[in-house]
């Protein structure tokens, strides 16, 4: 059986039309409403004050009990005063509790009115929406590189297949059947592939893969703008690009052309870097024991002395040095030694290196003779 008793005690609403003809009705309604609001605010203030007193009493009581415990351990003489304070606080707590119960009862029995007769049952609205895009993981550069390598290893065949597609319908169908490819890793792989193709002078193929790269980047950008999972943006992107709205298509084509220009520029830079790196490696190999470049030293020698090293004619070298000024000859020969063009005591060093190799041989041939134990 339904209990309707709670509806018996409802305060008259403000739209009551039974008023005395000599009384200004709107003013009366405003006065009644204001008086009711003031009573409700007073009740609320009393409740807050009682709650505040209760919290403060609990705090003081806890502190007093803590002091009492410490005093009992230390054997202080003022235990009676502490116990008396605790009794007083407990008595105060009982009074606050009693007043709080009386206030709650009074509040419960207060007549309902237009402001309290109903309360919202829910404080939020739930709207179904697509799954938001996953947040970027906080990975280190090493972890990202390892993830990228694993992704390429597991999907390289499919990545190349997508990169070689051109028809929008084929690309859309392939991505929908391989949703794991809709990611930043795929876009990065395609960019690197484009650079390598341009460096290999496969320009037409580079432009073909560049088109697929921009498609993937547009899907990822659309997902970022809508805060959706990129896998849910495959259909929206291809729908827009296939409708071929003039502004959208122009934006896509402009981005594609700019991307191809960036690829050409980056490929040229990488080729230049590779050439410089090879030249530097070659130069390092030419550095002699004294830190000088063999080629630079050889080019700086007088023509007659340079000819001796180019022909590797020791006798000509000895004759040329005898004809040169002693100080000049010493200067050039020191630089040749530092660059590794001239090896002093070559025979002695060679004998030390090969000393153990002749042991146990039945017959040894004549050793190579290097005049004055040096060779060019």
Q: How high is the mean pLDDT of the chain?
A: 78
Q: What is the pTM of this model?
A: 0.48
Choose the final residue of a domain: 226, 259, 283.
283
Q: Are 312 and 376 in contact (CB under 8 A)?
A: yes
Q: What is the pLDDT of residue 296?
A: 82
> pLDDT tens-digit profile of 33-90?
777 778 888 888 888 888 888 888 888 888 888 887 777 777 665 677 888 888 888 8
Identify the pLDDT of residue 112.
64
- Comparing CA positions, the residue from 43, 39, 85, 51 lying closest to residue 65 is 85
Whether residue 168 is found in the same domain as residue 254: yes
Residue that terminates a domain, selected from 283, 317, 337:
283
Summarize the confidence of residues 242-266 as an average pLDDT: 89
Whether 318 contacts 371, CB under 8 Å: yes
Pair (326, 216) in one structural domain: no
- Select from 92, 109, 126 the last residue of a domain: 109
Give yes or no: residues 42 and 92 share one domain: yes
For residues 336 and 235, membership in a common domain is answered with no
What mean pLDDT do residues 268-295 have? 82
Percent of the chain whose predicted confidence (pLDDT) is above 70? 75
Residue 234 lies in a domain: yes
As a whole number of angstroms, the distance between CA 221 and CA 237 comes to 10
Confidence of residue 122 (pLDDT cuts 50, 70, 90): low
Whether 82 is in a domain gets the answer yes
Question: How far, in Å, CA of 267 to CA of 209, rounded?
Answer: 15
- Count structural domains, the chain: 3
List beta partners, residue 343. 375
Look up the domain containing 50 and give its range: 12-109
Confidence band of 179 (pLDDT split at 50, 70, 90)? very high
Same domain, 275 and 145: yes
Nearest to 263 by CA among 199, 329, 217: 199
The 10 Å Cβ neighbour count of residue 140 is 8
Report the range out of 134-138, 253-257, 317-321 with the highest average pLDDT. 253-257
Model confidence band, residue 175 (pLDDT cutoffs 50, 70, 90): very high
216: CATH: 1.20.58.610
């Amino acid at each position: 059986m339904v209990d309707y008793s709670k509806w018996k005690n409802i305060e008259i609403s403000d739209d009551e039309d039974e008023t005395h003809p000599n009384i200004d009705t709107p003013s009366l309604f405003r006065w009644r409403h204001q008086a009711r609001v003031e009573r409700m605010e007073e009740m609320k203030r009393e409740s807050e004050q009682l709650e505040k007193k209760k919290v403060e009493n609990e705090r003081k009581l806890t502190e007093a009990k803590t002091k009492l415990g410490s005093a009992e351990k230390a054997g202080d003489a003022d235990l009676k005063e502490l116990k008396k304070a605790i009794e007083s606080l407990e008595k105060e707590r009982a009074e606050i509790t009693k007043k709080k119960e009386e206030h709650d009862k009074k509040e419960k029995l207060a007549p309902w009115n237009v402001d309290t007769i109903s309360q919202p049952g829910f404080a939020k609205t739930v709207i179904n929406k697509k799954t938001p895009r996953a947040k970027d993981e906080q990975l280190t550069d090493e972890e990202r590189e390892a993830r990228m390598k694993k992704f390429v290893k597991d999907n390289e065949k499919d990545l190349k297949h997508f990169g070689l597609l051109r028809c929008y319908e084929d690309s859309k169908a392939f991505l929908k059947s391989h949703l794991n490819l809709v990611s930043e890793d795929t876009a990065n792989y395609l960019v690197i592939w484009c650079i390598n193709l341009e460096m290999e002078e496969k320009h037409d193929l580079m432009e073909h893969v560049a088109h697929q790269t921009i498609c993937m980047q547009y899907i990822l950008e659309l997902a970022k703008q809508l805060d959706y999972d990129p896998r849910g943006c495959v259909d929206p992107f291809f729908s827009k690009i296939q409708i071929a709205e003039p502004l959208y298509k122009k934006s896509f084509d402009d981005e594609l052309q700019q991307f191809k220009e960036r690829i050409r520029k980056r490929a040229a830079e990488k080729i230049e870097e590779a050439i410089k790196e090879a030249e530097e490696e070659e130069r390092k190999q030419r550095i002699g024991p004294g830190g000088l470049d063999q080629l630079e030293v050889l080019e700086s020698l007088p023509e007659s002395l340079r000819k001796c090293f180019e022909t590797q004619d020791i006798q000509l070298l000895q004759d040329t040095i005898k004809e040169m000024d002693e100080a000049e000859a010493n200067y050039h020969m020191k630089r040749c030694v530092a660059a590794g063009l001239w090896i002093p005591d070559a025979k002695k060093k060679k004998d030390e290196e090969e000393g153990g190799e002749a042991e146990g041989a039945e017959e040894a041939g004549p050793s190579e003779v290097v005049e004055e134990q040096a060779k060019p």
